[in-house]
Amino acid sequence: MIATATATASGRPVSRPRVVTALGITQILAWGSTYYLMAVLARPISADTGWPIAWIVGGLSFGLLVSGLCAPRVGRLIQAYGGRPVMSVSSLLLAIGLCLVGLAPNLPVYFAAWLLVGLGMSCGLYDAAFSTLGRYFGKDARRAITTLTLFGGFASTLCWPLSAFMVEQIGWRSACFAYAAIQLLVCMPLHLLALPSIDRPAALAAGQSKAHVLAPAQRPLFLLLAATSVLCGLINSMIAVHLLTILQLRGAELAAAVALGALVGPAQVGARVIEMVVGKRHHPLWTMLTAVTLMTVALVLLWSALPITALALLIYGAGIGIFSIARGSVPLALFAESQYAAVMGKLAFPSLIVQAAAPSLGGILLDRFDPATLLALLGLSAATTVVLVLAIVRRTGRKALTRTG
């Protein structure tokens, strides 16, 4: 019998493999058709419409901003009603938004489309999926979260080539329509059929309005965790957008920069596999501390300009790979099950807003300074996260950390 944190509406336990597999598939498709979409479509859109690249990529930034603003509300909805209705609505919103992107005759309509896509991202990407797993499995959700991030790690690997193939064969507008159809015909049915509906126990229903309210003793931990998430989101977003530019400014040819950048994805997946094997033996805070330490070391190595760029990127990939696990599992260990989804929404709010602004900020810094300056600032930010996580460890106490998360 699989342990569950909540009963389904039919009274049957929740099937962990069924839920995680369904969410894994929909996460690959959701990330591939939103966050990773403009990496392939931006230039074809610009070539076809004449719109500036900055405005085209700005649509994604606008979507991330909308997603962050909506995240706290989405977390409370999942805590109240479970992930099935929320994530099903996500598929619908993404389908409508992507159709509108494909139809957009001008930039105002294009940004209106990204408003809908941003709402869908808020209801359907990692934070919503983690909250859904926490709602089903409670404190036992850590392994499910780790497995889900393994699926998510393949989003760019699978969807970048798919997007490029569709652009070449049917054009960027039809590629958007195809992703919209995938959301309606694949993702929505998976959310509706594989995610069970849940009962709302009387105690939970009665306390739902206060589930998102943190006790005074919890607020320092939350603020430390939020600051860590914000800085890691800033680093990840800047590196994701500007890594190839940084490497080329450092003297690498485009092909070499792409080859080096491709090391990050496998490193993420490899580190997540290791975490899956050994993670059950330790508290998830140690996973978070390891993640931010690896990120710091990697950025220092990149800043140093030593001829070990490949090693630095492998270390960086490992760090951000397991941070995505810690981002979902640490709040599960530090806060009550009844608070988890609401806390995840609150944490996503500032992080996504910073991620929306980070690419533009990184571009400004690269225009005004050299890559070493940007890497130094990112390295300092990463070192700050190490201090923040150590502060969380200290506040949590050794006794609590002897229990696995």
Please report which confidence band the pLDDT of residue 33 belongs to, taking 50, 70 and 90 as the band edges.
very high
pLDDT per position as a tens digit, 321-356: 999 889 888 988 888 888 888 888 888 888 888 988
Determine, yes or no, domain membership for 5: no
**Closest by Cα among 15, 78, 17 to 337:** 78
Closest among 106, 134, 103, 29 to 347, alpha carbons compared: 134
- Report the DSSP beta bridge partners of residue 360: none
Q: Write down the pLDDT at residue 42.
A: 85
Mean pLDDT in residue range 128-138: 89
**What value does the mean pLDDT of the chain take?**
86
* Residue 67 to residue 101: CA distance in whole angstroms: 17
* 3 found inside a domain: no
Q: Give yes or no: residues 140 and 228 share one domain.
A: no
Q: What is the pLDDT of residue 198?
A: 77
Domain hosting 23: range is 16-209
Do 321 and 263 share a domain, yes or no? yes
Higher pLDDT, 206 or 368: 368
Top-confidence residue, 244 or 193 = 193
Question: Is 1 within a domain?
Answer: no
Q: State the pLDDT at residue 20.
A: 93
Q: For 210-226, what is the mean pLDDT? A: 81
Q: What is the pLDDT of residue 398?
A: 60
pLDDT above 70 coverage of the chain, percent? 91
Query: Does residue 341 lie in a domain region?
Result: yes
Residue 8: what are its φ and ψ, rounded to 5°?
Answer: -80, 170
If asked whether residues 70 and 97 sit together in one domain, one would say: yes
Q: Which pLDDT score is estimated for 358?
A: 85
Question: Any idea which of 45-59, 198-212, 235-249 has the lowest mean pLDDT?
Answer: 198-212
Q: Number of structural domains, the chain? A: 2
pLDDT on residue 22: 94
- Is residue 102 within 8 A of residue 53, CB to CB? The reply is no
Residues whose CB is less than 8 angstroms from the CB of residue 357 and which lie 6 or more positions away in sequence, other chains included: 61, 65
pLDDT for 2: 39
Which band of pLDDT confidence, cut at 50, 70 and 90, is reported for residue 381? Answer: very high
